[in-house]
Amino acid sequence: MKVREDIRNIAIIAHVDHGKTTLVDQLLKQSGIFRANEYVQERAMDSNDLERERGITILAKNTAVQYKDVKINILDTPGHADFSGEVERIMKLVDGVLLVVDAYEGCMPQTRFVLKKALEQHLTPIVVVNKIDRDFARPEEVVDEVLDLFIELDADDDQLDFPVVYCSAINGTASVDPDPAKQDENMQVLFDTILEKIPAPVDNREEPLQMQVALLDYNEYVGRIGIGRVFRGTMRVGEQVAVMKLDGSVKQFRVTKMFGFLGLKRVEINEANAGDLVAVSGMEDINVGETICPIDFQEALPPLRIDEPTLKMTFLVNNSPFAGREGKWVTARKIEERLKTELHTDVSLRVDSTDSADSWVVSGRGELHLSILIETMRREGYELQVSKPEVILKEIDGKICEPFERVVIDTPEEYVGAVLESLGRRKGDMIDMSNNGKGQVRLIFLVPSRGLIGYNTELLTLTKGYGIYNHSFEKYLPKLSGQVGGRIRGVLVSMETGVASTYGIMQVEDRGVIFVEPGTEVYGGMIVGEHNRENDITVNICKTKHQTNVRSATKDQTAVIKKPRSFSLEEALQYIDEDEYVEVTPESIRMRKKILDKSLREKTARKKKAE
């Protein structure tokens, strides 16, 4: 069988924050792709603003480096399970993976998830133990953990015989020796291992064309761009080809432009052969998983399976008293258009219409997945309201089932009791507990997904900020009865529309924690604080002190109020209850009751209780 020795296709997979994107940076720099005087920012592959701010990869990216006359196509994948749709499809494009594992943290939930996907596709792995220079690094133990994980995930004999490279991506050094003092000055050993161990693609360019689209991009000049791999044959610019649609129909189009990848740039090319990763434009209506082939030889590749969403929430047109003040796009038509545009590139997302023209049910892979979409829309000038996230239930073998997640928590020893108690309340089942002997304990649980909504904030409070929490979807199991998780305390709700005053805040401070500062505009039904008790109460936070002509020894200027608690978008989504919304505008994030009117709200609550 003829192979193309001039090319290798690899994906870099890892748990979030184990150093994938930094490793790609070094491979790009050391391959001589950039000019000596060219400025390259850190994490060059994370091009999106949100990715740079949060230090995470959201969208899979592809690049290529040249090493010893071999072109190495590299796909940098997201580490968060919420973006697993991207990871799965990338596995179809490559022949091998670099599994990056932190030399201190070892195997984490997403390490398990991404490795499982790679092994299912029978890809050749290379294990890269990163951050070898880190304090308390334990490279040999981590390699043993990785081997155990391979065995647990039913890796075959060839996969179990994986090569290991130890490196420090931040310093650009690597070696095959676990001793940090014996690191080579560069990453040549990693490049050589890729050429030696990763299989070269089959060269069947004489056969009829087959290319499958795995990622989508959009450009306002050329429209939709399909990114994928040529599995066999040759594709040329200008030729007429057929697209085998997912619904069984066939459409024809002309290949107008084709791009290859080198460094961070797309390079226009005229021809692509079997094994090449390319971006193709010219087809307005192409989707992930569809096959491009010759008109006279139509043969589709198996469609790509994409994991179903596990979480849903309702997106609504903003109808609060402050609607339309801060946003540029506020109408139902504009919001619906934007959600449909997102469906062009995000295959893990679902958008369903409801009985109301002003609301849509949006389903995704997790809280982070949906909050990234909301944050992106907000930055683009959209104004909307969203409901509390809910898990998606499924009927399996006649039983109602709910999603469960594998949760890994690293915490100092003194907080273990509090963590166990908190996850017990959320119906968590402990699988494992290990002590690393340095005062840190790792706890592994299986917890229903609905029990994890809002848990991150609680864990940080319980562990005084020292707890590290990671989770990934495990499987669907029969639904547990009763209430799981949820907010324990009630909220303070504003009685009227106006401006929060120092005096008004001071009058209600002893009732709980305040969320707004003096001078903040509020409206009746808006949530302005958390009550000390379980019930909600209505408060007048706009109250002002009646002026008298008697001089006071303690003037208002000397009044000191506590710093209000502020919420990020994710924290607000986790915090709200079923009868509340988060109002999202380009400038503000507010929490409110669904029913703003106090008497109507109380009447509805009484009616619900009676039922």
Annotated binding residues:
17-22, 130-133
SS3 469: strand
Provide the residue type at 166 as one letter. Y
Integer CA distances (angstroms), 263 to 34, 170, 267, 441, 579, in order: 8, 19, 10, 41, 50
Task: Tokens 């963590």: give the residue.
Answer: 419
Contacts of 12 (CB under 8 A, 6+ apart): 20, 23, 24, 74, 75, 76, 77, 97, 98, 100
Strand arrangement, sheet containing 277-281: 250-254, 240-244, 291-293, 210-219, 223-232, 277-281, 257-262, 265-269
Q: Of all residues in the chain, what percent are helix, strand and coil, respectively (each to 5)?
A: 25, 35, 40
User: How many residues belong to the chain?
Assistant: 611
Residue ranges for the known binding site for GTP are: 17-22, 130-133
Residue 571, H or E segment:
helix 569-575
3-state secondary structure 512-525: EEECCCCCCEECCC
Provide the residue type at 594 as one letter. Answer: K
> b or e along 134-149 (b: 16 or more beta carbons within 10 Å of the residue's beta carbon)?
beebbbeebbebbeeb
The C-alpha atoms of residue 240 and residue 380 are separated, in whole angstroms, by: 37
Q: 232-243 in b/e burial notation, b at 16+ Cβ within 10 A?
A: bbbbebeeebbb
Sign of CA dihedral 31, 37, 42, 48: negative
Backbone angles phi, psi at 182, to 5 degrees: -105, 25
**How far from the centroid of its chain's Cα atoms is residue 236's Cα?**
36
Contact 431, 446 (CB under 8 A): yes
116/81 Cα distance (integer angstroms):
12
Q: What is the DSSP letter of 411?
A: E
